A = this chain, B = another copy of it.
Amino acid sequence: MTAPIRQKWQSVRDEVRQRIHAREWPPGALMPNEADLATEFGCARTTVNRALRSLAETGLLDRRRKAGTRVAQQPVAKATFEIPVMRKEIEARGKRYRHELLSRAVSVPPAATAVAMGCGSGAKCLRLRALHHADERPYALEDRWVNLAAVPEARNEPFSEISANEWLLMQVPYTHGAIAFSATSASNAVAIPMGCKNGASLFTIDRLTWNKAEAVTKVRIFFQEGHQLHTLL
């Protein structure tokens, strides 16, 4: 007898996953409907629904009304990354965190940046460059533009103690955003503060956040050489 150590919908989920892996229901196959599965597993349809829904969310199943539930042909791997606040990320690795402001100036961003942020081409922004240290070694370099039209309070914040990274999160609500990962080659402006070779390959995150229709901030973060972002799936 299979003791339901976990909750019931989870054991249904696991059993279904099991059968899929065992090729009992091969890719593309049409599964029995919820009602039948419920009978088989001896539970309510709601419970089966919960289990199948969670599998569909991970991309293992394709579900359509009336058409039924089928095993995905090519389960698109979905990798979910948590992008933590820099300080927490570093402290989680058991290292001491320090934030160092490199520069702070109000200026008009270059055209490309202004376009990306969707703010007028003459919009005043606060530009911040800062280093995040882990045990006194440069961990990441942050190059940020803050839209002063959206966040006028930023004009009076020195950002010497608290990083913009954290300050914005505390002060400014945002509704949505975009993230992009890439690899960039360290220019001199990056290599010198980071203490790496010119031309080094740096893992880079670009992030744009919005509040309603207004861009709040655009940031590019360069991580030290060899940095990896990983997750399980």
Contact = CB atoms under 8 A, between A and B. Distances in A.
B176 A233 contact: yes
A231 B1 CA distance: 44
A159 B8 CA distance: 42
Contacts of A207: 77
A177 B80 CA distance: 13
Contacts of A181: 181, 203, 228-230
Interface in A45-85: 59, 74-85
- Secondary structure class of chain A's binding surface, majority of residues: strand
Interface residues of A, number: 54
Interface of A: 20-23, 27, 59, 74-85, 88, 166, 169-170, 173-185, 199-204, 206-207, 211, 223, 225-233
Given A77-B207, A182-B203, 17 more contacts: A74-B85, A74-B169, A74-B170, A76-B83, A76-B85, A79-B80, A80-B81, A176-B233, A177-B232, A178-B233, A181-B228, A181-B230, A182-B183, A182-B229, A185-B200, A199-B199, A200-B201
